[in-house]
Amino acid sequence: MKAEQVYKTLASKKVETQFNSKQVACLIFFSMLYMSVMIANAVLTKKWISIGPYFVFGGAFVSPFLFIFGDIIAELFGCDLMKKIILFGFICQTIFAIIVQSMIQTPVPAIWHEQYSFSFVFDSIVRINLSSFIAYFVASIMNVVIITRWKAMVHGKYFWLRSIGASTIAEACYSAIAILMIGFGSLSFSTMLSVIAISYAIKLLSSIVFAYPANILINYIKSNYKIDVYDSINYNPFLARAAV
């Protein structure tokens, strides 16, 4: 049976999913974790970390959790809801960036001498946010569509393997687009290639390491919270639900 047919059969049983208080609390918790990682990833991009003769942006150690938490939410609550979180998450991060950028422009007292340090860390936050938007949006939607499509094909089994597979593809896309856009004009092309390669290796290793613990967590939540949403396959990132 094709994945689309599986989705239509399963999704038709619960088109209008109603969550109880425990399930809502679980969704809120993972959504807040996802949002925390988004903001941390944007801020830590200005932190460069040396690895031997090379370096990576600090966000390389944080961004893998975007895909891990995204996989968990999509697995439990469905593709449609996760796409909303991706979109609303970017809107919230943009609001955060605008607020921080505005604070840089405010006057400071003569006794405070940390304006330069504050500006150095946050002055590019809006540019980083907008530059990484395409990478974040394309990779995140790609990740959630792949893992939920494969979920239908294997009837919800092998989350750890699906998570690694989806993250491997999405993280390659994210690393290439984000680093090329953020580093354009300030880093040489060869330097950007090395940053992309090392960042991707870190993200891939993180996805492999955390996939099985995430699988254990998924099984526990499915068993104890009774959450396991199958919804329609919808390739339009701006539509919440396709017709079933």
Query: Are 71 and 166 within 8 A, CB to CB?
Result: yes
> Dihedral sign, CA of 50, 56, 57, 63?
negative
3-state secondary structure of 230: coil
> Dihedral sign, CA of 98, 184, 43, 143?
positive
pLDDT for position 236: 60
Token pair of 84 as six digits: 């909303």
> Dihedral sign, CA of 84, 86, 91, 93?
positive
Taking the CA atoms of residue 184, residue 95, residue 74 and residue 131 in that order, the dihedral angle to the nearest 10 degrees is: -10
> Nearest Cα to 143, choosing from 69, 238, 214, 41?
69
Q: What is the pLDDT along the chain (244 residues), one digit of tens a residue?
A: 555 555 555 544 444 567 889 999 999 999 999 999 999 999 998 899 999 999 999 999 999 999 999 999 999 999 999 999 999 999 999 999 999 999 999 999 999 999 999 998 898 898 888 888 889 999 999 999 999 999 989 999 999 999 999 999 999 999 999 999 888 888 899 999 999 999 999 999 999 999 999 999 999 999 999 999 987 666 565 555 533 3
Q: Which CATH architecture has domain 3-103+115-225?
A: Orthogonal Bundle (1.10)
pTM of the prediction? Answer: 0.86
What one-character DSSP code corresponds to residue 10? H
Half-sphere exposure of 21 (CA within 13 A, CB side): 0
> Nearest Cα to 58, choosing from 177, 195, 194, 186?
195
pLDDT for position 184: 84
* pLDDT, tens only, 143-173: 999 999 999 899 999 999 999 999 999 999 9
Q: Say how far apart CA 3 and CA 173 lie, in whole Å.
A: 24
pLDDT for position 44: 92
* pLDDT, tens only, 116-125: 999 988 988 9
Q: Say how far apart CA 228 and CA 214 lie, in whole Å.
A: 15
- Specify the DSSP element, H or E, that contains 93: helix 79-104
Query: Are 137 and 90 within 8 A, CB to CB?
Result: yes
